[in-house]
Amino acid sequence: MDERIPAQPPRALIAPACARVHLAGDVEHPAALTVADLRALPQRTVQARYVCGRRGEQPHTYTGPELLEVLLAAGPRFHPVIGKDRVRFLVVVTGRDGHLAVLSWGEIDPRYSGSAVLMATSVDDRPLDTHGPQLVVPGDTAGGRYVSQITSIWTGPATTLTDI
């Protein structure tokens, strides 16, 4: 055997590349989550469709945890007594290519409008471990907030001009 050619390890021993989502902002527990970490949370499956400018209507089946659960696990620093403090919080979701979409806490919390926004760990049964999760916003018509290959999520309070 040619000693200069390193032996390849069996394919099963090569760890698959897995994307991470950096979760940061005004939270107690910043984290770098894999899709496998997201799969450890309670999963929901929804059918949703958005209209893509280039490819028309896109119906897909998405499975993953609710964005709300992922954010709550990070411990957002809401005011300990004033319940409505949470409606100041923004959620900024960024994809690998820099595409970015903003949600507000009131959109994802059932005590307000509360539509179930998911972080998909699979689309049409295709796992997203290597690509990274995709945001699913079933109430949206256009696809702009279906951010794919999510690399970071920031949450924290918006400020008013008087705070600046």
Ligand X SMILES: Nc1nc2c(c(=O)[nH]1)N[C@H]1C(S)=C(S)[C@@H](COP(=O)(O)O)O[C@H]1N2
3-state DSSP percent of the chain in helix, strand and coil, to 5: 15, 40, 45
Output 88 or 145, the one with its CB closest to ligand X: 145
Dist. CA 36–CA 82, nearest whole Å: 34
Give residues in contact with ligand X (CB under 6 A). Answer: 52-53, 55, 58, 95, 97, 99, 143-144, 146-149
Dist. CA 154–CA 27, nearest whole Å: 9
Judged by CB under 5 A, the residue of 143, 145, 147, 155 near Mo ion is 143
Establish if 95 lies at the interface with Mo ion (CB under 5 A): no
Q: Which does 148 bind (CB under 5 to 8 A by kind): Mo ion, ligand X, none?
A: ligand X
Q: Bridge partners of 135?
A: 119
Output 71 or 137, the one with its CB closest to Mo ion: 137
Question: 148 near 123, Cβ under 8 Å?
Answer: no
Interaction site with Mo ion (CB under 5 A): 53, 143
